[in-house]
Amino acid sequence: MRQSRVINETKVLVIGGGDGGVLREVARYASVEHIDMCEIDKMVVDVSKQYFPNVAIGFEDPRVNLVIGDGVAFLKNAAEGSYDAVIVDSSDPIGPAKELFEKPFFQSVARALRPGGVVCTQAESLWLHMDIIEDIVSNCRDIFKGSVNYAWTSVPTYPSGVIGFMLC
């Protein structure tokens, strides 16, 4: 599985995921030397630290650089080839998160990735959002050369009980 590829990465960017769950999982790997995290809503981070400390534990890791701001703008300013992996843990494509599902965003991700880098992004439920998924797949195939795969997992609290991911 491609997931094992990420544990050998040294510099990771997490966009969104203010609860800290993705950050906690990335921080488990000693091979990761630096983690930038860009979260648009400081309150999400603060509430998670206060009420979900077992999820938010990754914020305490000294390798973490937390930036409160817009992930789209953050990526536009990232140096070319600066990340081994980009993980996007976003909300649905409504309001500020809408841009995280559009072609210019994926182009910024590709520019920020080192050769051979990987991206994993939230890609909605195949039972409810096939039109959005088709757009994401199309954009990713145009931009990322190589493997572009949709995967899903069961999350009973999500609408339809599943959430999808795009792995490139």
Which residues have a catalytic role annotated? 89
Residue 127: helix, strand or coil by DSSP? coil
Helix axes 103-112, 130-143, angle to 10 degrees: 40
| Type of residue numbered 161 | G
Give Dmax (Cα) for the chain: 42
Alpha-helix residue ranges (DSSP H) falling in 61-129: 71-77, 103-112
Candidates 35, 32, 38; CA nearest to 5 is: 32
d(CA 37, CA 52): 18
Q: CA Rg, the chain, in Å?
A: 15
| Type of residue numbered 40 | I
d(CA 86, CA 37): 10
